[in-house]
Amino acid sequence: MSYLSVIALILAFGISYFSMPGVIKLAGRIGAIDKPDKRKVHVEAMPRLGGLAIFLAFIIPCLIAFDISGPYVGLLLGASIVFVVGMLDDIYQLSAWTKLAGQIIAAGTAIYFGVEVHFLTNPFDGTLILGLLSIPVTLFWIVGVTNAINLIDGLDGLAGGVSGIAAITMGIIALLHGQTQAAWTAFILVAAIAGFLPHNFHPARTFMGDGGSNLLGFVLACLAIIGMTKSAALISLFIPIVILGIPIFDTFFAIIRRINNKTPIFKPDKDHLHHRLLALGMSQVRSVLIIY
């Protein structure tokens, strides 16, 4: 662990935590406000620009700590694109298809710079070389995980905590297998989330917004891919799915549910896991801790 890595972690936490009051004020000025409705849990208008603090707290330390090249160029550029699209949605409420197009462009940027799944491994059948399926599988994974994190961002501290736990797990696995840059990129993300969460735990002072949730999902998806392309033994087919199991399966069942109900798959509802826990009479805090 170099001194730059330590500085990067401290800087990530500091930027995220101490910039939040200014970000909250900015949200009010530019109209990045989440107003309550029948689908949402909160009952008061809430600033939803917290993702800006996470974004700055992730990008700046990464640029300081690492020699950015190869797939990490794609990760940071794609993360910037997907964050901007999400932030614009927080302000102007973009259509679902516009947001999806932005996510595809971000994923395509990452793929162009080498963030690509060339093979899948599992402990039973060995290695499957994807060949021509490599790009569509990569695109599906990145866009899918990006949206999965977005869909669980429904309770105070939920998306940030789940993403932080996933990033810690990925970072430890990467570190144990000698993937130093992937590991510390994950840990920087954890530090950025840690600076945000005190402002987002119930009762929250701010939300991360679509900009924040899209950013977290995108970075986690790319980190999983970078690990897979570096070593078949590092991350097998099922480990990223296990690490991100709750958001992935919650999204999967949401799609099935909406198809069965003959409603658009992009139409929000109140049947996600966290909504069901609340319906059982659990508090926000208890529901979030159970999902953790």
Decide if pLDDT at 248 tops 90.
Answer: no
19-58: pLDDT as tens digits: 999 999 999 899 888 776 565 555 577 898 999 999 999 9
Q: What percent of the chain has pLDDT over 70?
A: 75
Residues contacting 242, CB < 8 A, separation 6+: none
Which residue matches tokens 């936490």?
A: 13
Q: Write the single-letter amino acid at 133.
A: L
- Please, which pLDDT band fits residue 218 given cuts at 50, 70 and 90? very high
Average pLDDT score over the chain? 83
Phi, psi of 269, deg, nearest 5: -145, -175
Q: What is the pLDDT of residue 243?
A: 67
The answer to whether residues 114 and 70 touch, using CB atoms and an 8 Å cutoff, is: yes
Domain range list for the chain: 3-291
